[in-house]
Chain A
Amino acid sequence: MSVSTLTIDGQAVAMAVGATLLEAAREVGIAIPTLCHLEGLSPVAACRLCLVEIEGSGKLQPACITPVLEGMVVRTDSPTLRDYRRTVIELLFTEGNHVCAVCVANGHCELQDRAVEVGMDHSRLPYRFPDRAVDLSHQRFGLDHNRCILCTRCVRVCDEVEGAHVWDVAWRGEHCRIIAGLDQPWGAVDACTDCGKCVMVCPTGALFPKGDTVEEKHEDPSQLVALLRARQARQGAPP
């Protein structure tokens, strides 16, 4: 196995070629904030929260998809990065309708946690208050587009883990949103197996068990890794 050695925040790190900067940083206990990233799913670099500075590069790079290279010098924390991360969170909050006080995920929300971490005590950007719908057509689950941050975890878990590919991303720009089937009500999509993995991995209250009221969504996205490991162990086990 060939190894690359690099420096992250002054710490020397040796990682297998092909590993990402995010994996390298976590290997040595350096925390880089993420939202769209979830262990067990392919990375997409959608949220831009994990941007880092790489010496010699004029651009900030997303740690979740940037592979380690020999001799890299990486900074995961600087005033510029802190400002970018806070701005990313503010953009997410102002672009949707995130009302924590009455949200099913209040207290168990990754967006809320990240906002606390980046010190977002208010938004410097104006709120847009878009008019968005709620889809309660599924028998067991609901989708609230107001709370969706387009991280695409649901799209990936349904496609890569469940194999049902119910979810997709449709439209562009401010009209961009998650759709079920070919833009059908969720409850009308036959491909859905009702497994609930999309609800489990959703970082906010956008996908939730129907009937949940404020603060009642307690799903844990990190359970996906345990599920995948168990599946892998079973597949590797002798028949």
Chain B
Amino acid sequence: MEPTPTPPAGARRTILIDPVTRIEGHAKITIHLGENGAVEGARFHVTEYRGFERFCEGRPFTEMAAITARICGICPVSHLLAAAKTGDRILSVTIPPTAVKLRRLLNLAQIIQSHALSFFHLSSPDFLLGWDSDPAKRNIFGLIAADPELARGGIRLRQFGQELIERLGGRKIHAAWAVPGGVRSPLDPADREAIQARLSEAFATTNAALDRFKGLLDGPLAVEAATFGCFPSLFMGLVGADGRWEHYDGDLRLIDAVGAVLAEALPQQQISEVLAEAVEPWTYLKFPYYRPLGPEAGSYRVGPLARLNVCTRIGTERADAELLELRQRGGRVVTSSFYYHLARLIEILAALEAIEALLDDPEICTRHVRAHAGVNTFEAVGVSEAPRGTLFHHYRVDANGLIEAVNLIIATGQNNRAMNLTITQIARTYIQPGQSEIAEGLLNRVEAGIRCFDPCLSCSTHAAGQMPLHVQLLGPGGELLSERWRD
């Protein structure tokens, strides 16, 4: 983080936070102050670029799961599943029921490990060590020193998710196990027992974290809960039968800020007709929105909080009790982005309950787990819920199954506008007009606004094409002499 020198009176200036720490990927934040020192706005700039959509062209669609899983080391499973589901549609097959259950297990394990990483490793140092604590220690190592039991529990909870992924797919990261038509190998009964044996510890860690965090929400974090990205917006996510919480299949539901269903069962195969993507020249991250309402009114949030907002109930006992409590705190539709953290813990609990039920399923170790077919459809969309929100893979293939076009709509992108609104709101709350010094702890809160969404930037900046560029020519006094844009 750059030092913030005292500004000359009456000057406009920009505060730069570069890089944003404890997130996945590379980004910076600029906070723009007006002449009176008041915050005019804040921007979240994603400064990295990938290009996956271009180099997937010409590859067999059967390889897409393995290729797109490489987008990210945190949630490769999400891309694996979205790609495999798109592949299922290209094959036009109904995959074996056990393959569906095994893929569900894999996604639940992914949700646990990713949420545990976000909560314990990346965000909890802010809550537990303090926003203004020494930045050198405000990290997982500081947490290990200050609260070894909680830190160990969090690390082991993530490791539980990773171990389940490894037992299913053969490796923790980039297990290319889900394939078009199903999965590659069945679950070994010995692996089922090994995972079952670890469930009680995982439940205990999650419950302890929930109690601890809810206590903080009622006390020292009450201000943050009210000011970290608290604004009305739309929410989108998958829902299962009867509107239940869903993460792998089901219908796409879009609700407004008071819970009215704006769209039920959005057409997944024609998703580009209902979702559009806006582009801004100052960031590589696109801004998807619900096309009928336009870029502003149609912007929506996805991810753990959105999934809990769009569902009617979770469908498991302990998680439903927590969902009820969440709604008692934040309303039927929780609009404060700070509650993403609590939503993550509730989803870990829901995932653990779902894993427990799936492992007890008599079909789970059945050996028929893959359907085979040729290319039967030339264009398909696969949708699944990544830990960070709804993920879309859209492929067009030729008659032989070679990829002709790819579009990936990534969870983090869909939260882009919300992230920008969140940091603007936080900056306005904590940086007062005329304030001569900006404390590091205040800027940490701005960064933490981004961490609420647990963005994964390595996934989200994938689009092909010309790089947007903005060049500014500044005079010696900092005045703008000339500027040029390339969109």
Contact = CB atoms under 8 A, between A and B. Distances in A.
Interface stretch (A166-174, A206-214, A227-235): A206-214
Nearest to A187: B400
A215 interface: yes
A20 interface: no
A115 B70 CA distance: 22
Interface in B352-374: 372, 374
Contacts of B176: 102, 213-215
B62 A212 contact: yes
Interface size class on chain A is: 10 to 19
A4 interface: no
B62 A213 contact: yes
A134 B179 contact: no
A137 B400 CA distance: 6
A153 to B, nearest CB: 22
B74 interface: no
B70 A101 contact: yes
B402 A102 contact: no
A102 B402 CA distance: 15
B29 to A, nearest CB: 33
Interface in B47-104: 58-60, 62-63, 65-67, 70
Contacts of B58: 133-134
B372 A211 contact: yes
Interface in A167-219: 187, 210-216
B174 interface: yes
B382 interface: no
B372 A102 contact: no
Main secondary structure of the interface of A (DSSP, over half): loop
B66 A102 contact: yes
B67 A102 contact: yes
Nearest to B403: A134
Contacts of B402: 134, 136
B65 A134 contact: no
Contacts of A96: none
A62 interface: no
B174 to A, nearest CB: 7
A213 B401 contact: no
A136 B400 contact: yes
B184 A136 contact: no
Contacts of B400: 136-137, 187
A182 to B, nearest CB: 20
B48 to A, nearest CB: 20
Contacts of A102: 63, 66-67, 70, 176
Interface in B363-400: 372, 374, 400
A210 B181 CA distance: 14
Interface size class on chain B is: 10 to 19
A226 to B, nearest CB: 27
A101 B65 CA distance: 12
A134 B398 CA distance: 12
A101 B176 CA distance: 10
A134 B62 contact: no
Contacts of B67: 102
B179 A213 contact: yes
Q: Which of A104, A136, A215 is most buried by chain B, counting CB atoms within 10 A of its CB?
A: A136
Contacts of A142: 60
B66 A134 contact: no
A7 B70 CA distance: 50
A134 B174 CA distance: 24
A197 to B, nearest CB: 22
Nearest to B84: A213
Contact of A213 (B63, B70, B372, B374): B63
B63 A214 contact: yes
A216 B184 CA distance: 9
Nearest to A136: B400
Nearest to B401: A136
A137 B372 CA distance: 18
Contacts of B60: 134, 136, 142, 210
B88 to A, nearest CB: 13
Contacts of B372: 211
A134 B401 CA distance: 10
A137 B62 CA distance: 15
Contacts of B401: 136, 210
Contacts of B180: 211, 213
Nearest to B375: A136
A83 B153 CA distance: 50
Nearest to B179: A213
B55 to A, nearest CB: 10
Contacts of A136: 60, 400-402
A101 B71 CA distance: 12
Nearest to B67: A102
Nearest to B177: A213
Contacts of B63: 102, 104, 213-214
Contacts of B66: 101-102, 213-214
Interface string B18-47: 000000000000000000000000000000
Contacts of A187: 400
Interface in B144-197: 174, 176, 179-180, 184
A212 B65 CA distance: 12
5 contacts: A101-B66, A101-B174, A102-B70, A134-B60, A187-B400
Closest 3 interchain pairs by CB?
A214-B66, A136-B400, A214-B176
Given A214-B63, A214-B66, 20 more contacts: A101-B66, A102-B66, A102-B67, A104-B63, A133-B58, A134-B60, A136-B400, A136-B402, A142-B60, A187-B400, A210-B401, A211-B62, A212-B62, A213-B62, A213-B63, A213-B180, A213-B184, A214-B176, A215-B176, A216-B184
